[in-house]
Chain A
């Protein structure tokens, strides 16, 4: 696998779309390309942000934050 193919696979990898047989080959290439591969994979995670930001924000129930903060403060005090 050359680096261009690895880049294509990386974008599939970060969204969890690689098939098991591709994953094995991908991991071998990942080791082969080392740091360059890790840096590229990190960049690909920007796709996650992009997909989330492409959605119109939804309003959460006001009670959720109250419950969350009560749990967090309770846990911290425990």
Chain B
């Protein structure tokens, strides 16, 4: 199997940059832009902490697509992804009291939670082999499907996303593959080394270099915004 691609094509370039106003001393974050007057993610989390179902409803509308994409990337099964998405938002409702704004942004917290649940789900079902088979089939049938089918409009509207995609797509494929297997498949360095038939030290270097490049790019992006 060829390297699984972490992300995106550089074929389509954003037509223009959408600049956001500068703000002081914000933590490193890459959350999408909101409509003027819309409650912030933090407002919604506080609403959920106060047991306001409407806040959860709004948070769901805002992020179900992102979280489902993440779950699908891990488990490669549409129906299971929908079920898991529901469970994850239920967990967000139940665990909201454990969220602390000092420790990070709501989206980061939700993504961490969703990723953990998705990888747990994958392991519990002992579905590695099936998922790999599906992934292999999907890759063979539709190479780069999820990479290339975003429309020009979507990319232009989502400047932050496009920049992140560009950064990740700019990594050497072995670094993308190592990060993909670690982040989306929950593999350890040893598992990646075994799967890719690569020395452990090389896997470690690939992960470190790739993650540093992405982190540095996020920092730059943060400074620009």
* Given A49-B31, A52-B66, A56-B150: A68 in contact with B165 (beta carbons within 8 A): no
Interface residues of A in 8-33 (CB under 8 A from B): 8, 11-12, 15-19
Q: Does B42 reach chain A (CB closer than 8 Å)?
A: no
Give the chain B neighbours of A15 by CB distance below 8 A.
179, 182-183, 211
Task: For B81, give its contact among A16, A19, A58 (CB under 8 Å).
Answer: A58
A50 smallest CB distance to B (angstroms): 5
Write out, one digit per residue, whether chain B residues 6-27 have a CB within 8 A of any chain A CB (1) or not (0): 1110000000000000000001
Give the chain B neighbours of A69 by CB distance below 8 A.
53, 56-57
Complex contact B182–A47 (CB within 8 A): no
Complex contact B214–A47 (CB within 8 A): yes
Write out, one digit per residue, whether chain A residues 62-78 have a CB within 8 A of any chain B CB (1) or not (0): 00110111011101100
Task: For A47, give its contact among B67, B90, B215, B222 (CB under 8 Å).
Answer: B215
Task: Summarize B's interface: helix, strand, loop or mixed.
Answer: helix
Q: How many of chain B's residues have a CB under 8 angstroms from any CB in A?
A: 67
Task: For B68, give its contact among A42, A51, A58 (CB under 8 Å).
Answer: A58
Complex contact A8–B208 (CB within 8 A): yes
Interface residues of B in 29-66 (CB under 8 A from A): 29-32, 51, 53, 56-57, 60-61, 64-66
Interface residues of B in 180-225 (CB under 8 A from A): 182-184, 186-190, 204, 207-208, 211-212, 214-215, 218, 222
CA distance A59 to B146 in the complex (A): 13
Q: Does A61 reach chain B (CB closer than 8 Å)?
A: yes
Give the chain B neighbours of A49 by CB distance below 8 A.
29-31, 105, 107-108, 111
Q: Does B72 reach chain A (CB closer than 8 Å)?
A: yes
Supply 15 further A-B pairs (C-beta < 8 A) apart from A12-B211, A50-B164, A54-B8: A8-B211, A8-B212, A15-B211, A16-B186, A19-B188, A49-B107, A51-B184, A52-B67, A53-B66, A58-B68, A59-B65, A67-B86, A71-B86, A72-B53, A76-B53
Interface residues of B (CB under 8 A from A): 6-8, 27-32, 51, 53, 56-57, 60-61, 64-70, 72-73, 81-82, 85-86, 89-90, 93, 103-105, 107-108, 111-112, 114-115, 146, 149-150, 154, 160-161, 164-165, 168, 179, 182-184, 186-190, 204, 207-208, 211-212, 214-215, 218, 222
By Cβ-Cβ distance, the 10 closest A-B pairs, closest first, are: A57-B65, A55-B69, A11-B211, A58-B68, A17-B182, A58-B69, A46-B28, A52-B111, A54-B7, A48-B111
